[in-house]
Structure 1
Amino acid sequence: MPVFRIHHITRYEYDRPVKESVNEIKIFPSQCPGQEVLQHDLSITGHPDVQTFTDYFGNKTGAFNILAAHKLLKIESKLLVRTTATSQLQLNFHSGFEQLHDEILGNLQLLEMARTSAIEAQETISDIIAKIGGNRSVAAVTEHCSEYIFRHFKYIKGITNIETTVDEILQHKAGVCQDFAHLMLQILRSCQIPSRYVSGYICPNKDGLRGEGATHAWVEVYIPGTGWAGIDPTNNVWVTNKHVKLAVGRDFKDCTPVKGTFKGLAKQQLSVFVAVGYEDGYVFEELNNVHLQGQQEEAPQREEGAGQQQ
C-alpha cells in the first residue's frame, strides 16, 4: 500500500489590486474505497474562513472570499495519502448491456451519466464505436475505447485548453488527459454506458506514464457486478493504486480544482505547481505558467484546469 506526499500550489498574480475575490475549490481528497487520507493541510492567502459542503456528485467542496484588495491569491494543498486499492482490479468482463439497462432503469444518477452531449461530429463517434465493437461486454467496450484513444490520438501539451470541445479534439486528433477523458465520455455515453469524469493525480514512481506529477483526469464507468471502475485513456490502463482521486462529475466543469470571480481591471497570471513525493525519497515536480486572458473586465471568471496544467 503505497503512500504519496502531494504538494499542490495554485497561484494567481495580478498586475494591480483586485478585490471581492469569491472562490470555489475542489482539491480535497475523495473519501472513497481505495485511498486513505493520512493528513491534509490547506493554506490560502489571507487565511479566509473556508466553508465546506458536499456537492450533488458527492465531492467535498470549499467556498471562501477575500474582500480586501490584493495582488496575489495563493492556494496551497499538502496531502499525505495511502492508496489501498490492489494493483490489479477485479472486473466483471461478462456482464452485458441487458444487465446494465436493468440496473440503470430507475436510477436517476446513472441515467444522467449515460446522457450524451450534443456535438456536430456524432457520426464520427458512431464510426469509432463500430471500430471498437459496441456489442461486446460493458468492460470490454470500455477497454477497447481506451485503447483506441491511446493509439489514434497524440498526447500534445498546449494545443487545447479548458474550453476545448469534443468536436475540436476530433479535429486535432491530439490533446491531453482532460481532452481524452471528455472524448471517452462521449463515446461510452453514446453506447449508453454510464460514465463520469474524474480529477486527481497520477503517481507512478519512475514508470514514465503521461501526466505524472501534475493534476490528472480519467474516466469511471459503471460495470454491472463491479460498480464504478476507473480507466485512464491517457495511458490506456485501468486505475489502481497509482491514481489519487479528488472529485467526480459529468465533465471537467463539475470538478474544476479552483474557480471564482473577482472585481478589478487587471492582467492576471496563473501558475500551478504540483510535486509528488514517494516513499523511497524520489520527488517528481512540475511547474506550469499559464497565461490567462489579458486585460480583464469587471468581475471576470478564471479557472484552474487540468487541460491548462497538462
Structure 2
Amino acid sequence: MSIFKIHHITRYEYDRPVKESANEIKIFPYQCADQEVLQHDLFITDHPNVQTFSDYWGNKTGLFNILPSHNVLTIESKLLVRTTASSQLGINFHSNFKQLQQEMDGQLQLLELGNRDTIRSQAAIDAIAIAVRRGESVAAVVETCSEYIFKYFKYIKGITNVETTVDEILEHGAGVCQDFAHLMLQILRTCQIPARYVSGYICPNKNGMRGEGATHAWVEALIPGYGWAGIDPTNNVWVTNKHVKLSVGRNFRDCSPVRGTFKGPARQKLTVFVSVGYEDGQFFEEMNNVDTAGSQQAPIEADGSVAGQQQ
C-alpha cells in the first residue's frame, strides 16, 4: 500500500470578462477496491454549489455554474489517497477469446467498448493487430500490444493536443500518454477486446516513469476470468499501486477533467499544475500551458453574445 498527496490546479484566464460559466468536472477518485480516499478538498472560484452524480461509466461527476462576470476560473483539488492494488496483479494469462465472447454476451457496455472507431488508417491498425495477436491468450495479446507501442512509437511532448486523432498519431509515430492510450484502444478493439480509456495520475517511482507527477492516461482491458486490468503503454507496465484512477470511458472525451462553456467573446488561456507527493516526502511537480486551439470556436447565442468552450 502507498499513500499519495496530490495537488491539482486547473486555471482558466480570459482576456476580457466572461459570464454564465457552466462546467462539468471529473476530478474525483474512481470508486474501486484498488484505492481509498482519505481526504479530498475542492476549491473553486466564487465557491459555487457543486452537484454530483454518477455518469454512464460510473464516474463521479460534478456540475457547477458561475453566473457573475469573471476574468479567472480556478479549480483546485487537494487529494490524499491510499492505493491498495497489489504489485503482482495475478492476471489470468490462460483465458482465451472464446471465454471473452461468453463474458461479453448481452453486455451492452462491453459491446460499446469493443467497437472500434472509423478512421482513415484502419489498414495500418489491422496490420498491427495481426502482429500482436499471437495465440488465444487475451492477456498476452494486451501485453504484446503495449510492448509494440512502447517499442515503435516515441514519447515526445508538444507535438499533439487533446484533439489529436489516431490517424495523426500514426503519421507522427510519436505522442504522449493520451495518444498512446487512444492508439492502444483502437488496436485492442480491432482485436475484438473490450477496452476503456483511464484518466488519472502516475505517482513517483524509484525507477522513474514517463508522465509521473502529472495527469496521466492508460488503458484497461477486459481479461476473462479476471475483469478489468490496467496497462500503461507509455511505460509498458501493468498498472499497480503507482497509478491513481480518476475516471474511465470510451475515450478522452468521456474522462476530460474539466469541460464547460462560458458566455462572452473572450480568448482563454489554460494552465494545469499537478504536484504528487510520495509518503517519503519526495515531490514531483509539473505545470503545463495547454493548447486549447481546437476548442476556441464558439456558436453565437440568441442574444448576440458568443459562447466559448473550455476543455
Rounded to whole Å, the distance in 2 between the matches of 1:125 and 1:290 is: 29
Residues 204 and 284, structure 2, Cα contact 8 Å, conserved in 1: no
Q: 1:141 deviation in Å?
A: 0.2
Rounded to whole Å, the distance in 2 between the matches of 1:31 and 1:13 is: 32
Rounded to whole Å, the distance in 1 between the matches of 2:113 and 2:297 is: 35
Q: Which runs of 5+ in 1 are unaligned?
A: 304-310
Structure 2 SS opposite 1:64:
strand
Q: Match for residue 247 of structure 1?
A: 247
What pairs with 1:136-285 in structure 2 (closer than 5 Å)?
Answer: 136-285=136-285
Residues 296 and 308, structure 2, Cα contact 8 Å, conserved in 1: no
Paired amino acid for 1:180:
F
Structure 2 SS opposite 1:110:
helix
> What is the aligned-residue identity percentage?
72
Q: Match for residue 302 of structure 1?
A: 310
Structure 2 SS opposite 1:127:
helix
Q: Which moved more, 1:132-141 or 1:149-158?
A: 132-141
Q: Match for residue 95 of structure 1?
A: 95
**Residue correspondences, number:** 303
Does 1:43 find its partner at 2:51?
Answer: no
TM-score (norm 1): 0.96
Structure 2 SS opposite 1:300:
strand
Q: Which runs of 5+ in 2 are unaligned?
A: 299-305
Deviations 1:48-84 (A, max 9, x none): 0000000000000000000000000000000000001
Structure 2 vs 1, CA of residues 52 and 142 (structure 1 numbering), >3 Å: closer, same or farther?
A: same
Residues 265 and 295, structure 1, Cα contact 8 Å, conserved in 2: no
Does 1:56 find its partner at 2:56?
Answer: yes
Paired amino acid for 1:39:
Q
Rounded to whole Å, the distance in 2 between the matches of 1:153 and 1:120 is: 19
Residues 203 and 276, structure 1, Cα contact 8 Å, conserved in 2: yes
Q: Which moved more, 1:124-133 or 1:95-104?
A: 124-133
Residues 202 and 214, structure 1, Cα contact 8 Å, conserved in 2: yes
Rounded to whole Å, the distance in 2 between the matches of 1:30 and 1:154 is: 29
Residues 204 and 276, structure 2, Cα contact 8 Å, conserved in 1: no
Rounded to whole Å, the distance in 2 between the matches of 1:12 and 1:133 is: 44
Structure 2 vs 1, CA of residues 256 and 295 (structure 1 numbering), >3 Å: closer, same or farther?
A: closer
Runs of 4+ displaced beyond 4 Å: 294-297
Structure 1 SS opposite 2:244:
strand
Structure 2 SS opposite 1:215:
strand
Structure 2 SS opposite 1:68:
coil
Structure 2 SS opposite 1:139:
helix
Paired amino acid for 2:182:
H
Rounded to whole Å, the distance in 2 between the matches of 1:295 and 1:152 is: 33
Paired amino acid for 1:97:
F
Structure 2 vs 1, CA of residues 295 and 187 (structure 1 numbering), >3 Å: closer, same or farther?
A: closer
Residues 134 and 191, structure 1, Cα contact 8 Å, conserved in 2: no
Structure 2 SS opposite 1:284:
strand
Rounded to whole Å, the distance in 1 between the matches of 2:136 and 2:240 is: 23
Q: 1:268 deviation in Å?
A: 1.2
Q: 1:120 deviation in Å?
A: 1.0
Residues 262 and 301, structure 1, Cα contact 8 Å, conserved in 2: yes
Residues 271 and 287, structure 2, Cα contact 8 Å, conserved in 1: yes
Residues 16 and 71, structure 1, Cα contact 8 Å, conserved in 2: yes
Structure 2 SS opposite 1:161:
coil
